[in-house]
Amino acid sequence: MPAEAATSTDTTEKFNGARIILKALQEQGVEVVFGYPGGAVLPIYDELFKQNSIRHVLVRHEQGAVHAAEGYARSTGKVGCVLVTSGPGATNVVTGLTDALMDSIPIVCITGQVPTHLIGYDAFQEADTLGITRPCTKHNYLVKDVDKLASVVHEAFYVARTGRPGPVVIDLPKDVAMAMGTYTTSPRGTKRQQHKTYRPKTKPDAAAIEQAVKLMAGAKRPLFYTGGGVINAGPKASALLRELVEVTGFPITSTLMGLGAFPASDDHWLGMVGMHGTYESNLSMHGCDVMINIGARFDDRVTGNLKLFSPNSKKIHVDIDPSSINKNVIVDVPIVGDCALALEEMLALWKSRRLKADQNALKSWWRHIEEWRGRDSLRYAQRGKIIKPQYAIQRLFELTKDRDAYISTEVGQHQMWAAQFYRFEQPNRWLTSGGLGTMGYGLPAAIGAQIAHPKALVVDIAGEASILMNIQELSTAVQHRANVKVFIINNQYMGMVRQWQELLHGGRYSSSYTESLPDFVKLAEAFGCVGLRVSDPAKVDDTIKEMISIKQPVVCDVVVDQKENCFPMIPSGKAHNDMILGPEDKAGKAISGAGLALV
Amino acid sequence: MAKKKPTAKSAAKKPVRKTAEATSSNIYEGMVPLALLRDKVIYRHVVSLLVDNETGILARVVGMIAGRGYNIESLTVAEVDRERQVSRINITASGTHQVIEQLKTQLGRLVPVHVVRDLTDDSPSVERELALVKVAGVGDKRVEALRIGDIFRANVVDSGIQSFVFEVVGNTEKLDAFIDLMKPLGLVEVSRTGVVAVSRGMLGIEG
């Protein structure tokens, strides 16, 4: 094994497994671990107690630990680290792990396990963690030999952050955590080969880049369609993307996951694409002749009806994961590689050849786009005494935009409004559950981001239904002085469920109205946070300012219009050029039976 | 593209793929040409993998296949290099090029999988399967079973007064044909290994 040649093993000194874990985490640069103790991880917690270099953030539910680690990872670009016990501890992380897998977030999760000799005997708090987490992790390990523990931890970090990032589980039986063994340092040297065979391709094929650039130069109606891959490729990728858009003059749209990679204030920005994307970006997707997909995966929320998706375009697709290419949409120029490297090479080639797309065609393309933009598809009317949810979020944006804030969300209408109305300038500021759509994600993710950036403003834009799914984490926020602001868009409905019931199920609001909601102000106070409430549009600004000024976790209950729907919307089974623009537009755009079956 | 059933010959004529660069991952060989991806004809493929022989590797491969809804016809697995702890898995699956391409890239995503080779598309290959076929009968049927066994070059590995166990080796079609012929002659049971395959020529699966 070549990796072993570069490692050094100090055979003289022995440590217990728990100590080895912590040494390895330290060597991997871990500063914070989000976790919850229990019988099977007591030895590790004991070692945590004896040291000061790694901070442990005690959550109130293991799901919250993973989401917090995701928030930490997304806002820093580092690997998030989780420590939970066996059995229920491990089963409770499954949602978080699946979330991280779907959104390609690097996480290393250490789960305790019953002692080796009890595995398979239905011991107390035993679960087949390896089996349960196999489909929801990028990779997982069961460590039975304490001498291999350190190298497994190093390998886990390498796997989590390399290629398409994702969650990795290390299942550690209690007896291994207590056994004495030797510590192995992380492999170093030029190659840093930390797994004996796993080497994802990062360098794009030069011929494919050449083909892509040629296609771009010949484009008449080009469009950049970017995704979370650009964020995952690091800040450099975002900088390169900005430059490439600048020199080409092409319009750009992005998926939900990719928001922030390109500044929303730039003229080339068309807004988000997809089911609740802007009119101009969806029509551009439909009408473009060359689509340059950088780090997005043609998700069904983006493409709508695949048969009608962007019918006349040549498609370039850059993705680090070969399985993302030609999965949903067959593309003309597949490029397997890291987005930053691909962007760099595209940019270099574009500049060195002094390429230029047909400027007249491009101008005419932009004229079309400006016309679509003129429809102002995100417009809404704030009148009367009831707060429109869009207004609340827009005011939040206006009053926080100079603070370089981190925004997390839960899942539903408020999430889409946040994506539409909170305009991001920088990558890593937007934390949302895109792939899995996990309600309850936002609060723990915000806490994770706040732990990583103690001085920054971190706001969880929430819905009153989602926030109740992980409300217990307010206690975590208070204990760890993570002064997050929870901005609840409260319409008393599971808004997106209600919207679909209105549009698809004849207005039969089956179980989407939440009766007996708690008083969020009192709830906040019970947790030791500050609670605020606003229901008057005229007081929204003052309430937001007050929320920001409080140096404590705040829950701000914004009582909004119960009937507001999220538009524009591409109904299920429809194409990008068949959008519902607003409530007055939905007549005559009935959703077909086939569309009804889609989610 | 003409919708005719592919033969071994037409499969061999398919465009040769780019080989992986030295720097690139050894699990991915570049994309199938566009025309083939759009082809809706269903082909039978044999895909061979080299995997690290670690705990749960088979569950990982099988779980991915089940979880993503691929239909496979056979799967064989055995350690092939004890020193490096490497196992080889052969999977037979039918699908369009796009589906098979997805299957291969999804297999390639699994961390302990380090080589994915399409033995149908990438190069000509040899496939074999072994079956143990138990036939019971007396008189003419018994004689006829033995005679057909001879034609198929099957070995008799167990013999009683009223029964035989044949060991028959060949490609899937040959085994199917043999088993079909045994049905009226007193077929009792069949145990098959599933397909194992290697490419023709001097190069191994690792290139």
ipTM (interface pTM): 0.91
pLDDT at B30: 54
Grouping H, G, I as helix, E, B as strand and the rest as coil, residue A202 is coil
pLDDT at A155: 95
Contacts of A135 in chain B (CB under 8 A): 63-64, 67
Q: Per-residue pLDDT tens for A342-352?
A: 999 999 999 99
Q: Per-residue pLDDT tens for B36-67?
A: 888 889 989 999 999 999 989 999 999 999 99
Q: Per-residue pLDDT tens for A458-506?
A: 999 999 999 999 999 999 999 999 999 999 999 999 999 999 999 889 9
Peptide bond into A334 cis (omega under 30): no
In this structure, the answer to whether residues A250 and A360 fall within a common structural domain is yes
In this structure, the answer to whether residues A221 and A172 fall within a common structural domain is no
Quickly tell me which residue has 């102000």 as its tokens.
A521
In this structure, the answer to whether residues A398 and A521 fall within a common structural domain is yes
- Choose among A340, A21, A1: nearest CA to A193: A1
With respect to residue A187, please indicate whether it lies within any of the assigned structural domains.
no
Tokens of A449: 């981001």
- Contact yes or no for B127/B173 (Cβ under 8 A): no
- Choose among A340, A314, A225, A319: nearest CA to A272: A225
Q: Out of 3.30.70.260, 3.40.225.10, 3.40.50.360, 3.40.190.10, select the CATH number for domain B23-123.
A: 3.30.70.260
Query: How many Å apart are CA A74 and CA A449, to the nearest integer?
Result: 8
Query: How many Å apart are CA A561 and CA A73, to the nearest integer?
Result: 35
In this structure, the answer to whether residues A161 and A261 fall within a common structural domain is no
Domain boundaries, given as residue ranges, for chain B:
23-123, 126-196
Calculate how close chain B gets to A291, using CA atoms only, in Å.
16
- Choose among A72, A16, A41, A63: nearest CA to A453: A72
**DSSP string covering A253-294, please?**
EE-STTTTSS-TTSTTEEEE-STT--HHHHHHHHH-SEEEEE
**DSSP string covering A230-259, please?**
HHHT-HHHHHHHHHHHHHH---EEE-STTT
Q: Per-residue pLDDT tens for A192-205?
A: 557 888 889 999 99
Calculate how close chain B gets to A138, using CA atoms only, in Å.
7
CATH code at position A80: 3.40.50.970
Query: How many Å apart are CA A105 and CA A228, to the nearest integer?
Result: 10
CB-nearest partner of A322 from B56, B60, B108: B108
Grouping H, G, I as helix, E, B as strand and the rest as coil, residue A73 is helix
Strands (E), A540-587: 554-559
CATH code at position A304: 3.40.50.1220
Calculate how close chain B gets to A4, using CA atoms only, in Å.
14
Q: Out of 1.10.3720.10, 3.30.70.1150, 2.60.40.10, 3.40.640.10, select the CATH number for domain B126-196.
A: 3.30.70.1150
Is B64 at the interface with chain A, CB within 8 A?
A: yes
pLDDT at A8 > cutoff 90: no
Mean pLDDT of A248-274: 98
What is the rounded radius of gyration, in angstroms, for the C-alpha atoms of chain A? 25
- Contact yes or no for A99/A72 (Cβ under 8 A): no
pLDDT at A595: 72
- Contact yes or no for A149/A181 (Cβ under 8 A): yes
Domain total of chain A: 3
Cα within 13 Å of Cα(A503), Cβ side: 28
Mean pLDDT of B26-40: 67
Residues of A annotated catalytic, as ranges? 62, 124-125, 174, 496
Could you give the C-alpha distances from A211 to A206, A243, B18, B120, in angstroms and in order? Answer: 9, 20, 15, 28
Contacts of B105 in chain A (CB under 8 A): 321-323, 325
With respect to residue A535, please indicate whether it lies within any of the assigned structural domains.
yes
In this structure, the answer to whether residues A94 and A33 fall within a common structural domain is yes
pLDDT at A424 > cutoff 70: yes
Pairing of strands B86-95, B72-81: antiparallel
pLDDT at B12: 40
In this structure, the answer to whether residues A368 and A394 fall within a common structural domain is no
State whether B67 and A135 contact (CB < 8 Å): yes
pLDDT at A453: 98
Confidence of residue A11 (pLDDT cuts 50, 70, 90): low
